[in-house]
Amino acid sequence: MSTVPENINELIAAQGNVVRSLKAQGAPKTEVDAQVSKLLELKNLKLGDAKNGSKKGTQFTLKTPKGTRDWAEKDVALREKIFGTVTDIFKRHGGVTLDTPVFELKEILTGKYGEDSKLIYDLKDQGGELCSLRYDLTVPFARWLAMNPKITSIKRFHIAKVYRRDQPAMTKGRMREFYQCDFDIAGTFDSMVADSEALKILVEALDALNVGKYTIKLNHRKILDGIFEVCGVPSDKIRTISSAVDKLDKMPWENVKEEMTEEKGLPEEVADRIGEYVLLKGGPELLAKLKADEKLSANKSASGAFEDMKLLFEYMENFGILDRFSFDMSLARGLDYYTGIIFEAVTEASAPKKIASKKDVKKSDDPEADRSNDDTIGVGSIAAGGRYDNLVGMFSSRKNAQLPCVGISLGLERIFSILRNRIPDDELRANEVEVYVMAFGGGKEWTGFLKERMNVCSELWAAGIKAEFLYKVKAKPRQQFEAADKYGVPVAVILGQDEFNGGNVRIKRMGQKENSDEGVLVPRASMVSELKKLLASL
């Protein structure tokens, strides 16, 4: 139940101005739609108040929960295109699909996500078990592997919704319910072979999706751990300091250092030593520089990872993808389960605006508020992943239960937000209908040819052609053209009395002026073959 504000009319007027201003500025459609939804919500609130009469002050508001949205028509079509693109790539590399429950036992998810564990949605106990909505697809996969010990190697992919109680920024793809597209390789193989193919798959997916210019930041968790050890970070602070370092993509080193020293109790001289390393980025030449560091090379964790990275760079060069990566020492990835390489992809369109200091961070009195208009919030990484060799073993008491894994994860909504703003609206179709079956005629004797249109559609459907017709007995030509144009149907089959009497139909290309092309007359018997030829040429 929601209380109706006394100044509801002022709020409606102000929100209307926001919508008009965005439209005048040519703002992205997703941003305009988000503001229109808010305007409709206010109008519904006022309408409900007027209907309630004596019950003034309470009204059920029709809306989706914060951080979620409805998907319809062209948006669904684009999302399904993304699904299809990545699924084809995953199958090309030998992936088999897996589906797991949308919720897991709470104890399965607990302790796997570091500081992000606070974002897990817990469910009320309704059946004697404490459960939570899945936070990602990786932990459920590891749990499944632990439950199926006979599986010692698998390439698995999973496209499904996950849930995070994060502060939303809807128009930038930061949501509380969203799809992830994961590909993971589980099994014991020679060093870095599976890792390099995982990275190859990631590059293929981002190229195929046409997300624009992108960079994949790459690091190794053991090199980072080695740096922290050499610099003097206590072992119990390594993960929290790692989380602070991971914020270097959106705030300057001075603020990250302040978080380390003032919020997390790290001595200033230790933070300064960390700064000498984590601001470095490059390629194979950076690896050579790190190996030349005597203290770092003497560290067991880092030295072993150096050999991994040397091999990885060689294999990436063989795959022709080395130039897509930046060896970035600031990349830490906050999730606790990573044990080897870590990576994340960002585009020019997805990177957040880097703030000059923490004072520039826009704060809201409502921690639940949508932050779509906050320019310090970007889409963020559109894909990420890494190696996690110990996660499966966390779910099993058996000896030698470890099953090494490496995986990638694409954030579909974040990719969608980039593509939706880039692709012109008229290039997207809400459905895939290829042929609209119409009937033209007139006079008292005209029946509308409804049954004839049904017969033609049945013949087209049986031939595998996607077809529709208007659900009216006597449909006017303009009504039929408008129905076809609404979804961008490319071809029309037109039935007229004269054509029908002669055993013919007329095939017409759509998307042109009605009088500029009357179409081609073809025998009814060859209608299907002629349509297939035409559709194949479009």
Query: Strands 435-440, 405-411: parallel, antiparallel or unpaired by DSSP?
Result: unpaired
Q: Is 338 labeled as ligand-binding?
A: yes
Q: Is 422 labeled as ligand-binding?
A: no
- Contact at 8 Å (CB) between 242 and 264? no
- Determine the Cα–Cα distance for residues 94 and 91; give it in Å rounded to an integer: 5
Q: Is 164 labeled as ligand-binding?
A: yes
**Run of H or E including 32:** helix 29-52
Residue 346 forms beta bridges with which residues?
215
- Identify which of 40, 35, 10 has the alpha carbon closest to the alpha carbon of residue 24: 35
Q: Is 337 labeled as ligand-binding?
A: yes
- Determine the Cα–Cα distance for residues 110 and 378; give it in Å rounded to an integer: 28
**Eight-class DSSP state of 102:** S
Residue 96 forms beta bridges with which residues?
156
3-class DSSP state of 68: coil
- Determine the Cα–Cα distance for residues 435 and 449; give it in Å rounded to an integer: 17
H-only helix segments in 337-473: 412-422, 450-462
Q: Is 136 labeled as ligand-binding?
A: yes
Q: Is 308 labeled as ligand-binding?
A: no
- Determine the Cα–Cα distance for residues 189 and 393; give it in Å rounded to an integer: 17
- Contact at 8 Å (CB) between 264 and 240? yes
- Contact at 8 Å (CB) between 100 and 144? yes
**Eight-class DSSP state of 393:** G
- Determine the Cα–Cα distance for residues 522 and 507; give it in Å rounded to an integer: 7
Q: Which residue matches tokens 């500081």?
A: 115
- Identify which of 362, 384, 349 has the alpha carbon closest to the alpha carbon of residue 173: 349
In order, the DSSP letters of 106-152 are: HHHHTTSSGGGGGG--B---SSS--EEE-S-SHHHHHHHHHH-TT--
Q: Is 414 labeled as ligand-binding?
A: no
Q: Read off the tokens for 126.
A: 């309704």
Torsion, Cα 344 182 310 339, to 10 degrees, reads 80
Residue 239, Cβ density class (10 Å: 0-12 exposed, 13-18 middle, ≥19 buried) = middle
Q: Is 88 labeled as ligand-binding?
A: no
3-class DSSP state of 438: strand
Sequence letter at residue 196: S
- Determine the Cα–Cα distance for residues 398 and 406; give it in Å rounded to an integer: 21
- Contact at 8 Å (CB) between 112 and 391? yes
Using alpha carbons, list the distances in angstroms from residue 248 to 280, 331, 409: 11, 8, 21
- Determine the Cα–Cα distance for residues 46 and 173; give it in Å rounded to an integer: 30
- Determine the Cα–Cα distance for residues 452 and 460; give it in Å rounded to an integer: 12
- Contact at 8 Å (CB) between 241 and 266? yes
How many other β-carbons are positioned within 10 Å of the β-carbon of residue 1? Answer: 7
Binding site listing:
136-138, 164, 180, 184, 333, 337-338
Binding site listing for L-histidine:
136-138, 164, 180, 184, 333, 337-338
